Every structure is written in C-alpha cells, then in structure tokens.
Amino acid sequence: MTPQLEISGLTKRFGGLTALSHIDMAVDGGEMLGLIGPNGSGKTTLLNIVSGYYDANGGTLSYEGAPILGRSPHELARLGIGRSFQVTKVFRRLSVLDNMMVAGLSDWRAHRKEAEERAHAILKDLTLDRLAHAPASSLSGGQAKLLEFARIMMLTPKLVLLDEPFGGVHPELKRFMHDHIRAWNEAGVTIVLISHDMGSIFGLCRRVVTLSYGDIICDGTPEETRNDPAVLDAYLGD
C-alpha cells in the first residue's frame, strides 16, 4: 500500500544551518504519529515544508502518491492537508463564524447556507457555537485554540498536522482537545502531532519519531522511544 505521506531525502538549509538533513519517513493513512525532539531539532520546519509554507533544498515529498513539493498551502489544504500553528492564526477582527467561512474555500460562496450549517455544527461540537457572532478577539487563549481546530475541520482534512496545540492550555481543555484529536483519528484522519508534552504524545500516539539536529534518531512505539538511549541523550543535552 502506498503511504499517505512519503518523505524522501528531505533537506532544508537556512544559510549555513542544516535544519533537516536527508529525512526519510513514511506515514500511513489513519496513523496517529508523534513528532518530538529538543528545541531547534527541525520539527516545525518539517511541518512547514509538508504544509507548503517552506520550500526544501533537496529531496521529495509525496502525498497520496503524487509529488507535492512546491505546492502552495492553499492547494495542499484543498488536497486535505490541514494544520495548526504554535501561535494561533485566527482573524481577530472577524466573528468566530466568519473565521470559519474564510477557512473554507472560495467555491463555498455559491453554497453559503450549507457552509454555515456545517460551521455551526463544528462549532457546536467544540462548544463555541454560542460565540459564533462574537469577534474572535473576545475569545480566551483556549477558545482561540479550539477555533483553530474548528477551522481545520471546516476543510474536511485527511491529514492534520498539529504544532504544539497544548502550549499554555489548562488541563481540562487539554483533555477536551485530546478527545477531539482521538475522535478525528478514529474517523480515519491521519494525525501528526508535535508536542513537548510527553504525557500527551505517549498517551495519544502509537508511533513516535524523534528528531535531533535535523536527523531522525528514533522511530518507534512510545515504549521504544522512552527507552532509547539516543533520545534520552538528545534531551539531556537540550
């Protein structure tokens, strides 16, 4: 079976710094994969390339069997690749509902009613429906994180890349977010999760890839990762 995402020899340099060095990695449809590593190891850079925000200096990237390097974030979103950002990117001056509508694609203009119904259903699921007409600037930090999840769902993604979604989130909200991530995955959505929160990574993911200085130093189960001396070394040197 062709993996959903296939990364081969992927290399990214920033000036003299090699942020990713010949990365090879395959992700099957329906996986829940954790991506960990000390600060600066290349996690966000990898996500930025897969979601079309950065170009690469070498290597190939294919999604559902087709090459995608060089495609724009918008095109990739259309193909079903959704992502969140470490710092939420909601449009603060727009209402919550309008944030959902702009997350959608232009052809929704012709189907505004259906899109709005869909937006309301997703907001309800994330307990944001009563805030649909409030400006996004009035949301708390946690609510803004949920809105970002809601916007990703608006695109009916097949692969979701989450970059530190739990940063600054209180434990109750974190559990709520865990439940949603699990529910997406159970519905067949592939998840790639970057987090420094090892409890979340080991609790949610069946496979964990560890980066250090732009190299994959471990690719295994949570158990294998926890017991890998190279992983321990990388974190101790952090």
Binding site for ligand ADP (CB under 6 A): 14, 17, 19, 37, 39-45
Query: What six digits make up the tokens of 50?
Result: 């897969």
Rounded least distance, CB 138 to ligand ADP, Å: 30
Q: Within 10 Å of residue 216's Cβ, how many Cβ atoms?
A: 21
Rounded least distance, CB 165 to ligand ADP, Å: 14
Name which of 102 and 232 has its Cβ closer to ligand ADP. Answer: 232
Name which of 97 and 209 has its Cβ closer to ligand ADP. Answer: 209
Rounded least distance, CB 139 to ligand ADP, Å: 25
Q: Which residues of 63-76 are buried (b: 16+ CB within 10 A; e: fewer)?
A: bbeeebbebeeeeb
3-state secondary structure (DSSP) of residue 209: strand
Q: Is 167 exposed, middle or buried (0-12, 13-18, 19+ CB in 10 A)?
A: middle
Name which of 35 and 68 has its Cβ closer to ligand ADP. Answer: 35
Work out whether strand 190-194 and strand 207-212 pair parallel, antiparallel, or are unpaired.
Answer: unpaired
Name which of 39 and 106 has its Cβ closer to ligand ADP. Answer: 39
Q: Are 150 and 123 in contact (CB under 8 A)?
A: yes
Name which of 41 and 190 has its Cβ closer to ligand ADP. Answer: 41
Rounded least distance, CB 212 to ligand ADP, Å: 9
How many alpha carbons lie under 13 Å from residue 32 in its C-beta half-sphere? 19
Rounded least distance, CB 64 to ligand ADP, Å: 25
Query: CA–CA separation, 195 vs 219, rounded Å?
Result: 16
